[in-house]
Chains A and B, each alone.
Chain A
Amino acid sequence: MFLFRIALRNVLRQYGRTSLSMISIIVGVAIIIMGRGFVGGSRENIVRAQIDSVSGHVLAVPRDYPTSGARHPVDNLLELDEATRAWLDANTEAWTTRTVFAPRIVKGSDAIRGRAFGFDPERDESVFPRRDWRVTGEIPATAEDGVLISRGVGRVLDVEPGDHLFLQVRTSDGAINALDLPVSGVVATGNPMIDRIGLFVPQPLVEKLVVTRNRFSHLAIRLADRDDSPRFAKELETRFAGAASVKTWREETQDLIDLQQIRQTAMDLLALAIMAIAATGIANTVLMAAHERVREIGTLRAMGLDRRGVVGLFVLEGLVMGSVGGLLGALLGGGYNYKLSVDGIDLSSFVEAAGSGGIYDSIPMSSMLYTESSLALAAGAALVGLLVAVLSSVYPAVIAARLPPAEAMRAE
């Protein structure tokens, strides 16, 4: 207790130097929290966007269906028998079918290649919630209602609700088909993968356009517990008897999660570099303190403080700096991270800046990113700061303790 009192006052004695060392701990701890919060939040954002707008918890597509790129073939579609429908009703929270195809969207002399989501007007929302959707106009429910285009398509082709578009497609039989369709509404889903070139076509209209004959390219399922996905996927694959490839949301996002892991590592390396600077600062602070107080150390040794006590004294000084720095870093970083986990970060401007054809076209994500925040994260980061401070003060402490008392007493 006595040594702690001395350590505490010594830390306060060198206010400026101590403050600089503590600032580096505070920054390091805050960066660990913010970095981990951001990367963790991005991972969850991607997973949530994937589940909520692309795959659900389990997704079945025709075997050999392309896993990436803009190709969405419709020549090999799936169908559901009554028994499977009943089984799905009994074993899922919700399920829906979609037919994804790539129409040529034409307005006057302008045309773009789009990504159309043929959806079941009655079932789709139960699997793919529309809480982040901002719709101008109406969501179509029948073939006569026309199509719901994304904000990107509307902007590029200068189309508004009530206007008409031509959709040119290949049918499931390989024939070319085209229809003049009204635009019922414009949607911003928050997912740039959809918002750039996507459009939603109600199933009855898909039937007319693509001639699917009650078949579909995607079967998406929502479960009560997403962790049940692997077991459910295996069972569903058996039911399709090799006709479908069934994947869980985790398999669908694995590449993206791996990419996030790289980001996580980069963030950790940055935090490590900052903590190394903090460690150097603290080691320097303690070493300077030891040099300045050689005679004081000699006096304490003369009075009976042993080497372990001297080491303890200086390590306690590191402990004080690490505790205060770690705590402040956790409060600042954790507090701001918590705010971002509640308020979110609006990424729309970044997505806009990336432009069409950018990385966001192929990554499912919500334009609002909510960071991952937890007490364990803040406490863990504070502990890292504390450990760095304590460990970096051990070396100078040992140096100070090695000095023979008689020699220390001679110091000026």
Chain B
Amino acid sequence: MSICELRDATKTYGSGAAAVHALDKVSLAFEPGEFTAISGPSGSGKTTLLNLVGLLDVPTSGSVSITEQAAAGLGSRALARLRAQNIGFVFQSFNLVPVLTATENVEMALHLAGTAGDRRKLAEEALAAVGLGEMLKRKPAELSGGQQQRVAVARALVKKPAVVIADEPTANLDSTTGGQILDLMRQMNDERKATFIFSTHDPMVMARARRVIALHDGQVAGDEVREPAAGGSGGA
């Protein structure tokens, strides 16, 4: 059972002669527990693909479904609810809310997902799991880039989403810290069977992926499964 699927997904910006096909009839399926890198040069369509998978954007044609739920025809509220409950995000620039502490940033994800129970405790446990148990009350400005990205990983994983989307998660980090973040993501993939789909053009990052999908000019140029998905069978 695919956790996320694109069928003939096309995304076109502009119209007529000025139309640009950022994605062109892409069909992909992602299985639970995958640790998938989307690679390709700038302008190949990596971010557009992640935006479609993450339900941040809708395809011009074709379809996207997540946990077997088709996104087509859903209103912005329904899409927001789907995102809140099923998708975690890790961004290149961390994108933490600057006025909230590390704990509150993580807690917010639970709040938006409508998670019941002691959200504060769950947030603190998630931060402890990414090695930030001592920095719960620090605000983003008081954390290093690597620490901020750890908070972002905790925020993405705390609600136990079906899939975590990461758009160049190591691009703004030095290679050592970037490696640590990638190790952390891989650890979460191994231990929690969390599904990761991330974009990169860093060979070091690609080397750690279980599956690598290469994009070129908005089309799939390659799809290589190197290891089976954590806790399950291989990819598409």
- Shortest C-beta distance, A74 to chain B (Å), equals 81
User: Binary interface profile of B, 212-232, with partner A (CB < 8 Å = 1, else 0)?
Assistant: 000000000000000000000
Cβ of A405 and Cβ of B56 under 8 Å apart? yes
A180 CB–B CB distance under 8 Å? no
B113 CB–A CB distance under 8 Å? yes
- Collect the chain B residues with CB atoms within 8 Å of residue A409's CB: 51, 56, 91, 95
Stretch from B61-69, B75-83, B143-151, B190-198 that touches the partner? B75-83
- Number of B interface residues in the complex (CB < 8 A): 27
Distance, CA A157 to CA B72, complexed state (A): 97
Stretch from B38-46, B104-112, B177-185 that touches the partner? B104-112
Cβ of B77 and Cβ of A306 under 8 Å apart? yes
B residues contacting A by CB (< 8 A) are: 51, 54, 56-57, 76-77, 80-81, 83-85, 89, 91, 93, 95, 97-100, 104, 107-109, 111-113, 155
Distance, CA A396 to CA B80, complexed state (A): 21
Contacts A299-B91, A405-B56, A409-B91 hold; do A304 and B112 have CB atoms under 8 A apart?
Answer: yes
Cβ of A308 and Cβ of B77 under 8 Å apart? yes
Cβ of B113 and Cβ of A304 under 8 Å apart? yes
Per DSSP, chain B at the interface is helix
Distance, CA A300 to CA B108, complexed state (A): 9
A residues contacting B by CB (< 8 A) are: 2, 5-6, 9-10, 13, 295-296, 298-309, 404-406, 409
- Collect the chain A residues with CB atoms within 8 Å of residue B95's CB: 295-296, 298-299, 409
Given A9-B99, A301-B80, A302-B54; 14 other pairs, CB 8 A cutoff:
A10-B99, A296-B98, A299-B97, A300-B97, A302-B56, A303-B83, A304-B80, A305-B80, A305-B84, A306-B76, A307-B76, A307-B77, A406-B51, A406-B57
Distance, CA A300 to CA B83, complexed state (A): 11
- Collect the chain A residues with CB atoms within 8 Å of residue B97's CB: 6, 296, 299-300
- Collect the chain B residues with CB atoms within 8 Å of residue A5's CB: 100, 104
Distance, CA A306 to CA B75, complexed state (A): 10
- Collect the chain A residues with CB atoms within 8 Å of residue B108's CB: 2, 6, 303
Cβ of B83 and Cβ of A6 under 8 Å apart? no
Cβ of A302 and Cβ of B57 under 8 Å apart? no
- Collect the chain A residues with CB atoms within 8 Å of residue B56's CB: 301-302, 404-406, 409
When A and B form their complex, which 7 residue pairs have the shortest distance between CB atoms, in order from nearest? A304-B84, A9-B99, A306-B80, A304-B112, A406-B57, A299-B95, A406-B56
- Shortest C-beta distance, B212 to chain A (Å), equals 24
Distance, CA A343 to CA B57, complexed state (A): 66
- Shortest C-beta distance, B96 to chain A (Å), equals 8
- Collect the chain A residues with CB atoms within 8 Å of residue B84's CB: 303-305
Distance, CA A305 to CA B76, complexed state (A): 10
- Collect the chain A residues with CB atoms within 8 Å of residue B83's CB: 302-304
Distance, CA A311 to CA B182, complexed state (A): 36
